[in-house]
Structures are given as structure tokens and as C-alpha cells.
Amino acid sequence: MHIAVPNDLNEFIEQLPQDRRQLLKRLHKSQLRAVFSSSLDFIPEFYKSFLLPSMHLAHGNESVILSPSKVKHEIVEQHAEFLQIFNDNQCIAAGLCKRSGSTFKLMQSGWLNGSNSILKDGVQAFRIWTALQHAKQLGCHTLDLGGSPPFLSDGVLNYKMRWNASISDSFEQFGSPFLLIDPQHTDVQSFFHRHPTLIIDHEGKLGLCSTSPPDSIKLKHTFSNSIARFWRLASPIEALEKQLSIEPTPQIASGWFVNESRG
């Protein structure tokens, strides 16, 4: 997910949700400050005190964590650097970031000892806002917020979407899991009802699968524009009435997924 770096940062703020605007206003008055550093000496502390505990608490066994050697490689070979956030003289959060062409990318980050209180105080918002300002100073066109799970019910995806973020046309895939599903099964129907899911269809287009029609799904305008196709999973009754084929189509895993793309 990424944010288009705006020409006017104040105008960008005005387009954010009210609670996000209020949070940025509070953070602006706080004692937080940001420091960019490429110190290799900070790597062990970053890994042990920030990255490891935060990722384990946030993502559990699904965490994909850069090893200290990978962190060093990013800094030495890829010219990445640390974005450290201090409260007075105490570093309370840190993460990797780097410039790649006209894109400034935020990479893995963590907050001190995985503290929930630090996280709830808005340190991630301060990190994104600092990075957006830095990207503008560097003349970058895009701030890359990193990957997100493909479920609209996921907190990470929703957090990033509320920054008026969208999905890049050249989106990256961390693996390509293929699921063999039975669309008439009650658990499958229930899953797509509870978790509208971003997928890549047979033609390589980004789509959203759900049992609900697209107009009933709340999406930020910029995020919605990233999605090429909206696939509504029909119920067994509808599929029977309309004689929908359960077999795969040239575009999607089953004819029970009805293309209801806007426009």
C-alpha cells in the first residue's frame, strides 16, 4: 500500500478522517522527535528490543522478521537507514526505511519491548507522518507503507487505508497461495461474508471477493480505485436459480463469483 506524496501537506491532512487529524495535531505538540541514522551499532538493539517483541506480539507465528544480517545488508548494500523516534532522550520506536527511485519505502519496524502503551500513543502515526514529510523533502512521488494482509477485516490494512492509501499497480506478492475451495460450502460462504478478501484473478487483475455487493462495502475512495474487479460470491439458492456454473471461468475460481465491478 502506498500514499501519493502531496504537493500540499496541509491539504493532505484536511482530507484525513477527523480522528487522524486530531491525533496528528496532538503528536505535533508532543515531545516526540525523529532521527534518521545508518548506525550499524544499533542493529542488535533494534532486533532484540524493538523488532522481535513487536512483531511477535502483533503477528504471532505468522511474523516474517528480518534477521540482524538482513538488516545489515539493507543498510550497507541497499542504503537503507533507521528512522528512530525519541521521547526526550529515550528511543521508543524504530524501523528501517529507504529510497528507491521516486519511492520512499517504510520497512519493518517495532516499538520498545512491544509496549502496547507506546503503540496506543500514536507512535506509528508519527512514523508515517515523519516519513511522508521526509519523502517530500527528497522529491519522492510515493510513500510505500509496506505490505498488508489481504482481508478488509484486518486492522493493519484498515489502518493504512485510513491514510488515504491505495494499492500500487505494481503490487508485490509475498508468495502466491492457491486455495481449492468449494463455494457452496457453508464455511466458505461464511468466510467471504466475514472477511472480504483481496485476490489476484486468473488475468492478473486485483479483485475483491465477498458475499456482499460492492456498494455495501465501505472503502476509502483512493483504495477503492485500486481494485479492478469486485466479485460477489452468490449463495447456493441464487446459483441454482440463475444456473451458475460452479466450475472455474477464464477469470475466476468459480462461476459462482459474479463480476459486479463498478462502471
pLDDT band of residue 221 (cuts 50, 70, 90) is confident
Count of H-run helices and E-run strands, the chain: 11, 10
Asked whether the predicted pLDDT for residue 107 surpasses 90, the reply is yes
Determine the pLDDT at residue 255.
95
The residue extents of the domains of the chain are 2-146, 186-259
Q: Which CATH number fits domain 2-146: 3.40.50.2300, 3.90.180.10, 1.10.10.10, 3.40.630.30?
A: 3.40.630.30
Which is higher by pLDDT, 168 or 234?
A: 234
- The pLDDT of 151-179, averaged and rounded, is 77
In angstroms, what is the C-alpha Rg of the chain?
21
Asked whether the predicted pLDDT for residue 85 surpasses 90, the reply is yes
Q: For the chain, give the percent of residues with pLDDT over 70.
A: 93
- Cβ neighbours of residue 201 closer than 8 Å, sequence gap 6 or more: 207, 229, 231, 251, 252
- Cβ neighbours of residue 153 closer than 8 Å, sequence gap 6 or more: 194, 195, 196
Asked whether the predicted pLDDT for residue 171 surpasses 70, the reply is no
Query: What pTM was estimated for this model as a whole?
Result: 0.86
- The pLDDT of 24-30, averaged and rounded, is 93
Determine the pLDDT at residue 67.
94
Contact between 102 and 141 (Cβ < 8 Å): yes
Cell of 254: 468459480
Asked whether the predicted pLDDT for residue 157 surpasses 60, the reply is yes
Query: What amino acid is encoded at 205 in this protein?
Result: K
- The pLDDT of 241-253, averaged and rounded, is 93
Asked whether the predicted pLDDT for residue 175 surpasses 60, the reply is no
